[in-house]
Amino acid sequence: MLLLRAAPLRLRTVSFSVSVARPHVMRSHLLRTVHLAGGMSTTAVDNSSNGFIDPDLSIEHFGEGSLNGLTFAAKDLFDVEGHVTGYGQPTWRATHGAATKTSPAVQALLGAGADLLGKTHLDELAYSLNGENTHYGTPVNPACPDRIPGGSSSGSAVATADGTVDVGLGSDTGGSIRVPASYCGLLGIRPTHGRISLENACTLARSYDTCGWFARNAQVLRKVGEVLLDSSSKQDAPLTRWLTAADAFDHSDKATSQAIYKLVQGHHQEMTGLLGEPQEVTVASLEGMGSLSDWWQVFRITQGAEIWQELGEWITANKPQFGPGTKERFEMASKLTPQEIQTAKQKRKQISAHLQELLGKDGVLMLPTAPGPAPILNTPPAELDLFRSRLLSLTCIAGLGGLPQVSLPVVKVEGCPVGLSLMGPRGSDEKLLQLTEKLMALFTQ
């Protein structure tokens, strides 16, 4: 909830660059200064859910557009000029200076009329799907406070789910938008890889990293897409071929599959009017590539190799203290062999081509976002790792293919949210967002 209160008079100056080109492209920059007077009309951010690392970093919009009147929070891997980007790790924060430019994604939202209310927590260097940070704590999942919020975009998800902001800006490499969206009962999108600039943002694995976002409202989710997505790579073909991923449902808890199937069956007539009759498919049907569990191993190796290439030198030089799980993943990434990496890269190319053929230009694949609801807080690490393997067997699909995926908060299991996902061909993000708006209206009527 957004709280309004009088505060002692204080004047704060925030400087950032203003783009005068298209929102997703920075061509020229004008310096703008925003003065926030605490005694006038100051907005105090409610951080009781521990979503924000820097709730005092507030920037008013500098443009007018489709996001007028909306607020957003930005994951603390996006740069804001004049402020240090912490990347979820205190040693990273201590070894980096203030940003000299503001991320194009943040600029685009400010230019379309939205106000930035602060930067948010994330897992260490974004290398986790849990949302539990040893150094900064665990943001509270508003949907199920006794369960983890999901990560790595945990703070942006929580700040959106508890109503503090309308939009949570985050990133998704292996599921860092889709998983918190599922756990916290939000709409969330991982866009087609490369459709939104990640300039002036921290890198994890370049060929997998995407800029995504959360919203509670499908119309808002779509409007943000209209601002952020590069229109030159848009695909206009309608999505008219409904595919259900049988093997993805097999990787999910029985209760999750049953809840989703019950929902879909209850709206079968309306959904076939939108998408035609559903066709059940096995996603991992490529000869010699194994099951979705094997695909996850391809993802693990190729992602790990990129992560170590990007961050290994800094880790070796600075020796940061990582929390459990994250520490072991970086150790794994550091020990990957050239042969392992080369073999996994070759398999990834084949998998990507297979997914492109499966979806064509008109296919929309339906699958569970996660195997089940969010794990309970303080779940033993070994048990959490088993769940993580099942989870990544689902989320790796979009990553391996560079595909867009939207998670819809439409079912509950054990009283907690589980997302239903829609995945489309590369460039079909706008069509997926339009379909999401129609389906949410259908499911919530």
Residues labelled catalytic: 75, 152, 176
Backbone torsions φ then ψ of 119, nearest 5 degrees: -105, 150
The Cα–Cα gap between 75 and 432 comes to 24
Beta strand spans in 356-440 (E): 363-368, 405-413, 416-423
Q: Note the Cα 154 to chain centre separation in Å.
A: 9
Q: Is 226 exposed, middle or buried (0-12, 13-18, 19+ CB in 10 A)?
A: middle
Q: Decide if 417 contacts 409 (C-beta within 8 A).
A: yes
Q: Decide if 36 contacts 44 (C-beta within 8 A).
A: no
104: which 2 tokens? Answer: 């194009």
Strand pairing class (115-120; 52-54): antiparallel
The Cα–Cα gap between 182 and 225 comes to 19
Residue 213's DSSP bridge partners are 169, 189
* HSE-up of residue 389 (Cα within 13 Å, Cβ side): 9
Q: Is 103 exposed, middle or buried (0-12, 13-18, 19+ CB in 10 A)?
A: buried
CB neighbour burial string for 247-280, b if at least 16 within 10 angstroms, e if fewer: bbbebbbeebbebbeeebeebeeebeebbeeeee
Listed residue (163, 154, 95, 82) closest to 124, CA to CA: 154
Q: Decide if 19 contacts 27 (C-beta within 8 A).
A: yes
321: which 2 tokens? Answer: 């203290």
Beta strand spans in 147-257 (E): 167-172, 187-190, 210-215, 241-245
Q: Note the Cα 85 to chain centre separation in Å.
A: 18
